[in-house]
Amino acid sequence: MSDPNCIFCKIVAGQIPCKKVYEDSELLAFHDIHPWAPVHVLIIPKVHVAMLSEVDETHEKWLGKMLLLAPKLMKELGVTNGFRTVINTGPDGGQEVYHLHMHVFGGPRPWAKG
């Protein structure tokens, strides 16, 4: 299922280009166009689910795959000193695109206080 008005669904469909780092039948991972860190990728399910609060048991497999994929991608992209994962959910959670996605940040931490 997809949403014709969703930017991430359009990326999955190939209507909007992205800098892909991983793809299989369930997930797509690509570089964020407005990165917050030297390495910043998004991991999204190919099926449209608006936010984490809407998942159920049928989504368990790809949710687990998202978490397993994060360290693999960071290693492949040269991140060696740790990384951060974030899933924003709903307006109070800072979600801007309403298609579930996980941010994976690596490299020096611009959010850290210096």
Paired sense of beta strands 102-106 and 83-86, if any: antiparallel
pLDDT at position 110 is 61
Q: In 35-107, which residue ranges form alpha helices assigned H by DSSP?
A: 60-76
Single out the catalytic residue among 40, 99, 101, 103.
101
**8-state DSSP, 78:** T
Q: Which of 6, 4, 37 is closest to 101 using CA atoms?
A: 6
- Tens-level pLDDT at each residue, the chain (114 residues): 778 899 999 999 999 999 999 999 999 999 999 999 999 999 999 999 999 999 999 999 999 999 999 999 999 999 989 999 999 999 999 999 999 999 999 987 666 655
34 annotated active-site: no
pLDDT at position 2 is 78
Q: Do residues 22 and 68 lie in contact, with contact meaning Cβ atoms separated by under 8 Å?
A: no
- Could you tell me where the beta strands, DSSP code E, fall in the chain? 20-23, 27-31, 39-45, 83-86, 102-106
pLDDT at position 52 is 97
pLDDT at position 58 is 95
Q: Which domains does the chain have, with CATH numbers?
A: 7-106 (3.30.428.10)
